[in-house]
Amino acid sequence: MNRSQPARLLRSLLAAALWWIASPAQAQVVLHLYNWNNYIPVETVHRFEAHCRCKLQQDYYSDNEEMLAKLAAGAKGYDVIVPTGNAVQTLVRQQALRPLDKQRLPHIANVRREYMDLPFDPGNRYSVPYAYSITLIGYNEEKMRDLGLPTDTWALIFEPRWLEKLRGKITVLDSQRELMAAALKYLGYPVNESGEAKLRQARDLILRAKPYWSAFNASSYIKELTVGNIWVAHGYSNDMFQAQQDARSAGRRFTIGYSIPMEGAVLAVDSMVLHRTGRRPDLAHQFIDFMLDGRNSADLTNLIGSGNPNADATQYIRPEIFGNKAIFPDVATLARLEMLQDYDRRTRRLVNRMWTEIKVR
Amino acid sequence: MADAMKRNTSSRLTKWLVAGPPLVFLTLFFLLPALIMVVASVRYPGEFGALAPLFPTRPGEEAGLTLENYGVFFSDWIYADIFAKSFGVAALTTLLCLAMSYPLALLIARSPRRHRDLLVLLVILPFASNFLVRVYAWMIILGPLDLLFSRFAVIVGMVYVHLPFMILPLYTNLEKHDPVLLDAAQDLGANGWNRFWRVTFPLSLPGILSGSALVFIPVLGMFAIPEILGGKDDWLVGNMIKESFLGTRDWPFGSMLSIMLTAGVLAIAGIAAWAARRVTVHA
């Protein structure tokens, strides 16, 4: 999302200025990490810096496309990046990544088998899972109970029968792939369906439900749920976790719940990869192995409620998070989750045309 | 004579020194990117975003130049529809800004000289905080009123953000008016309304035009405000361009949309300039 671009620009300028001032003085070893906003706890950063006796320099993105666009525009020098599966695939096909040296990653054995060897990188040649999130439905529990609405199905955001009671109190993600995926799932199709007829069905389903929605929203649904302006939001599990925490700490009289629709949903696995232009592959491997350590991996989950693919982390994760079925789904639910894959350019154009229609009609 | 020549060379040098840097700047950061955009708009999208190569690297690959992107634009009502909507929003924002700014600018221009600087400072003051912070503040104001995520919210945000761009040129213009003219009009029997309508207003037209341009053009390309405050129907051209580049990684299509937007803006600027010339001739 471009919401914070000026702020980010200012921050980068400031960082550049500081770097300029500080650089002659420091001959320090630096590892460059290009990461999602708020995707590693500060304590973990400090621990790693003490461990490697180097500095961990972070740059942030809030969208895979933003990261790919920046790399496509020629950004260089990032050692480690944490893209989502489909973006890993894009980077691999662009030959932008360096293969991993598994010898230097002894902790890779900690990753659960179901999260290894994923379709976007068979054999994990280039990537190791870092954390995951699930695109699901977050809701105001009390309102749902009062209105007698189901919370375990995409019908909640697509069926006029239920939407009647939610008019103007519901937001969906401002992302063509995510919203189409939800519609496709509800219709019983795979999330990467590329047949025009089926995509059109999904578009029609969205257009039928749109009059009831309040907005297409990419990030402020967290706040809107917490404040109580919105009762249902289509969004990411990490965000719903935050909304839940915020509502609790603000002492709201309602609670935010979230669950994975029974039809299945999108699973987004973020993986650590080495960029080809990185100057310190040695430190990069050290960082990846450090983050594969159960304790370090668990810290992130405890902070932001991200899904954790690390088996060794389980013992350190707060039990109320580990027990949450929407973050750690059971095997049957996991089997119904799918990862997004990149469309080819023709399909991209087709879906973009439908998206424009969805936005305008 | 040698002296004159030297003076001539040095004045020419001065002219270049003054005009050179902005010229270089505009060439580098406006003309060149605009040309790149034109070229990008007649190419095919690359497999991973960016552009497809100019020459095919494997058989059957789409490469080279094409007018397909423009074809898509003109073969579908939907894009023209968004353009029309965006121009409508920009026009409405400009009108509202004008209606709100004129009295204020007049008030500042006619207040005692020692107060003017302070009043102008107050107009500029909002710039001290970040634009996005101010737009987010509107979320907090409009949310509880049930007005958030609507066309109304978008217009409110647009007007709020662009108001100073209308006030300042108006004020600069109005401040220069000679009060003697109004006295003369009064002496000739003009009442308050006539003094405004037949003296002040015509003289302020250049200010109105430059203020309107400063509001209208940025509003046309704005995508942040509709994205933050807008509802499900408030997609404007800016959003569509952003989505093409980031959402679909379809650079040629996004470039084509940008070119069409620039063409639209230039057309309007042309009409405005023509109107301004006629107005000045009449005055």
What is the predicted ipTM? 0.80
Q: What mean pLDDT value characterizes chain B? A: 89
pLDDT at B62: 77
Name the range with the highest mean pLDDT among B15-24, B73-82, B91-100.
B91-100
Residues in chain B closer than 8 A to A168 (CB atoms): 146
Q: Is A173 in contact with A179 (CB distance < 8 Å)?
A: yes
Q: Is A269 in contact with A236 (CB distance < 8 Å)?
A: no
Which residue among A69, A94, A216 sits closest to B232, beta carbon to beta carbon?
A216
Q: Which residues of B170-200 are buried (b: 16+ CB within 10 A; e: fewer)?
A: bbbbbbebeeeebeebeeeebeeeebeeebb
| Chain-chain contact of A349 with B248 (C-beta, under 8 angstroms) | yes
Mutation target among A2, A93, A203 for the B interface, most CBs of B within 10 A? A2
Q: Is A225 in contact with A140 (CB distance < 8 Å)?
A: yes
Query: What is the tens place of the pLDDT at every residue in B179-204?
Result: 899 999 999 999 989 999 999 999 99
What is the Cα–Cα distance from A52 to A46, expressed in whole angstroms?
A: 10
SS3 state at A151: coil
Residue A270's pLDDT band (cuts 50, 70, 90): very high
Contacts of residue B106, Cβ cutoff 8 Å, sequence gap at least 6: B170, B174, B200
| Chain-chain contact of B250 with A3 (C-beta, under 8 angstroms) | no
pLDDT at A25: 45
Nearest-Cα distance to chain B for A3, in Å, is 6
Chain B interface with A: residues with Cβ < 8 Å:
44-50, 72, 76, 78-79, 81-82, 85, 130-132, 139, 143-144, 146, 148-149, 223-224, 227-228, 230-233, 235, 239-240, 242-250, 253
Residue B37 domain-assigned (yes or no): no
Residue of A nearest to B61 (CA): A345
| Chain-chain contact of B246 with A63 (C-beta, under 8 angstroms) | yes
Residue B214 domain-assigned (yes or no): yes
CA dihedral A75, A80, A84, A86 (to 10 degrees): 60
Nearest-Cα distance to chain A for B138, in Å, is 13
Residue B168 domain-assigned (yes or no): yes
CA dihedral A188, A189, A195, A197 (to 10 degrees): 10
pLDDT at A1: 37
What is the Cα–Cα distance from A310 to A298, expressed in whole angstroms?
A: 8
Residue of A nearest to B77 (CA): A357
Residue A8's pLDDT band (cuts 50, 70, 90): low
| Chain-chain contact of A213 with B232 (C-beta, under 8 angstroms) | yes
User: Lowest mean pLDDT: which of A17-21, A299-303, A317-321?
Assistant: A17-21
CA angle A237, A256, B154 (to 5 degrees): 80
Residue B3's pLDDT band (cuts 50, 70, 90): low
Parent domain of B145: 77-249
Residue B61 domain-assigned (yes or no): no
Residues in chain A closer than 8 A to B151 (CB atoms): none
φ and ψ at A20, to 5 degrees? -60, -45
| Domains defined for chain A, CATH in brackets | 30-132+267-327 (3.40.190.10), 134-264+341-360 (3.40.190.10)
Token duo for residue A9: 């620009």
Residue of B nearest to A88 (CA): B48
Residue B17 domain-assigned (yes or no): no
pLDDT at A2: 41
Which pairing describes strands A256-259 and A265-275: parallel, antiparallel, or unpaired?
unpaired
Residue B256 domain-assigned (yes or no): no
Residue A168: other Cβ atoms inside 10 A: 17
Q: What mean pLDDT value characterizes chain A? A: 92
Residue of B nearest to A344 (CA): B47
Q: Which long-range contacts (CB under 8 A, 24 or more apart) does A185-193 make?
A: A185/A154, A185/A261, A185/A263, A185/A264, A185/A265, A185/A266, A185/A338, A186/A153, A186/A154, A186/A155, A186/A158, A186/A261, A186/A263, A188/A263, A190/A338, A191/A264, A191/A266, A191/A338, A191/A339, A191/A340, A192/A338, A192/A340, A192/A341, A192/A343
DSSP B161-195: HHHHHHHHHHHHHHHTS-HHHHHHHHHTT--HHHH
The domain total for chain B is: 1
Above 60 in pLDDT, residue A334? yes
Angle, in degrees to the nearest 10, between helices A196-209 and A345-360: 20
Residue B92 domain-assigned (yes or no): yes
Tell the residue number behind the tokens 């939001």, with chain if given: A233
Residue of A nearest to B242 (CA): A2
Which residue among A6, A68, A348 sits closest to B250, beta carbon to beta carbon?
A348
User: Lowest mean pLDDT: which of A163-172, A180-189, B144-153?
Assistant: B144-153
Residue of B nearest to A73 (CA): B50
* Share above pLDDT 90 across residues of chain B, in percent, rounded to a whole number: 59
What is the Cα–Cα distance from A198 to A187, expressed in whole angstroms?
A: 9
Residue B280 domain-assigned (yes or no): no
Residues in chain B closer than 8 A to A227 (CB atoms): 143
Q: Which CATH number fits the domain that encloses residue B235?
A: 1.10.3720.10
Query: What is the tens place of the pLDDT at every residue in B98-141?
Result: 999 999 999 999 999 899 999 999 999 998 899 999 999 999 99
Q: In terms of pLDDT, which residue wins out, B146 or A151? A: A151
Run of H or E including A274: strand A265-275
